[in-house]
């Protein structure tokens, strides 16, 4: 009996001594440096998952939407993306609101007259969302877009090929109303960018009323869609007929004989 009592008395102490003690961590350890031992066995899992541990200081920045419905305020937001503007600041919230401002301007048909030239200018800004400016102008329709022809023509001389591309496409959407821009578009049939070359041939066909493209080219209802943005590769594949017309006939015509909608 005394032995049994002694065993019962010592048992709790033995269990405590045998318990697994926590491994102390160095003071510099973080969640991303702690390794569980033994390593996790993954062969029995259906798929592997990657867990990313964010540092304690990580924050998620939410860009506030544009609340103003004032066309002047929306135009000012656009110019935060213009490197030549005093408002230019790629780190600002205003800069990040560029797409939202264009979406609001696209819906403001009653104010389109006031916004058209500024939206056309936004096509030349060095950012991927500049295509949204081209879409906004096209959504306004030819009558409104004609108000922006001088700015669009200026964009044709941009060093940015996307600015030239989108401006040519928008001018082509106006068709014969933008024929005064033909003289500026013709030389783009030799542009270094294959998409600009193709878009120029499409625009010239619409403006000049000539058959300048191969018969297998189908006019897309959305000229800015991926299906419509073909590339003239190898060079001359799509634009050779347009080049022949321009060299033999088009370049000899004065497409801008009088002061008109192509003048600022």
Structure tokens at 55: 């540092």
Residues 89-106: pLDDT tens digits? Answer: 999 999 999 999 999 999
Q: How high is the pLDDT of residue 67?
A: 75
Structure tokens at 262: 């192509």
Q: Please, are residues 161 and 195 in contact by the beta-carbon 8 Å criterion?
A: yes
Q: How high is the pLDDT of residue 35?
A: 38
Q: How high is the pLDDT of residue 55?
A: 53
Q: How high is the pLDDT of residue 109?
A: 87
Q: How high is the pLDDT of residue 54?
A: 45
Share of the chain above pLDDT 90, in %: 65
Angle between helices 112-122 and 71-78 (to 10 degrees): 10
| Average pLDDT of span 211-236 | 91
Residue 219 pLDDT class (50, 70, 90 cuts): confident
Range from 13-27, 40-54, 113-127 that averages highest in pLDDT: 113-127
Res 57 pLDDT > 90: no
Burial letters for 172-204: b for 16+ Cβ neighbours within 10 Å, e otherwise?
bbbeebbbbbbbbbbebbebebbbbbbbbbbbb
| Average pLDDT of span 130-156 | 96
Residues 155-172: pLDDT tens digits? Answer: 999 999 999 999 999 999
CATH architecture of 66-252: Alpha Horseshoe (1.25)
When mean pLDDT is compared across 202-206, 210-214, 219-223, the lowest value belongs to 219-223
Place of tokens 């916004």: 115
How far is the C-alpha of 195 from the C-alpha of 71, rounded, in Å?
Answer: 33
The mean of the pLDDT values for the chain is 82
Share of the chain above pLDDT 70, in %: 76
When mean pLDDT is compared across 19-33, 68-82, 143-157, the lowest value belongs to 19-33
Residue 34 pLDDT class (50, 70, 90 cuts): very low
List the chain domain ranges.
66-252
When mean pLDDT is compared across 60-74, 155-169, 186-200, 226-240, the lowest value belongs to 60-74
Contacts of 25 (CB under 8 A, 6+ apart): 34
- Count of residues making up the chain: 264
How far is the C-alpha of 168 from the C-alpha of 232, rounded, in Å?
Answer: 15
| Average pLDDT of span 35-54 | 41
Residue 61 pLDDT class (50, 70, 90 cuts): low
Q: How high is the pLDDT of residue 42?
A: 38
Q: How high is the pLDDT of residue 36?
A: 38
* Model confidence pTM above 0.85: no
């Amino acid at each position: 009996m005394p032995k049994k009592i002694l065993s019962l008395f010592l048992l709790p102490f033995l269990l405590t001594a045998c318990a697994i003690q926590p491994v102390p961590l160095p003071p510099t350890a973080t969640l991303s440096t702690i390794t569980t031992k033994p390593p996790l066995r993954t062969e029995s899992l259906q798929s592997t998952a990657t867990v990313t541990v964010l540092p304690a200081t990580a924050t998620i920045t939410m860009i506030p939407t544009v609340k103003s419905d004032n066309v002047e305020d929306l135009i000012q937001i656009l110019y935060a993306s213009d490197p030549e503007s005093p408002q230019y600041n790629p780190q600002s919230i205003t800069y990040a609101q560029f797409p939202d401002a264009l979406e609001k301007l696209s819906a403001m048909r009653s104010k389109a007259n006031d916004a058209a030239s500024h939206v056309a200018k936004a096509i030349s800004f060095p950012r991927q969302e500049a295509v949204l400016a081209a879409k906004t102008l096209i959504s306004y329709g030819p009558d409104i877009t004609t108000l922006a022809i001088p700015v669009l023509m200026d964009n044709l001389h941009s060093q940015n090929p996307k600015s030239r591309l989108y401006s040519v496409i928008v001018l082509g959407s106006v068709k014969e109303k933008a024929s005064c821009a033909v003289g500026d578009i013709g030389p783009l049939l030799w542009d270094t960018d294959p998409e600009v070359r193709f878009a120029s041939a499409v625009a010239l066909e619409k403006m000049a009323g000539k058959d300048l493209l191969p018969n297998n080219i189908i006019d897309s209802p959305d000229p800015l869609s991926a299906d419509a943005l073909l590339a003239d590769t190898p060079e001359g594949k799509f634009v050779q007929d347009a080049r022949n017309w321009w060299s033999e006939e088009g370049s000899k015509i004065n497409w801008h004989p009088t002061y008109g909608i192509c003048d600022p």
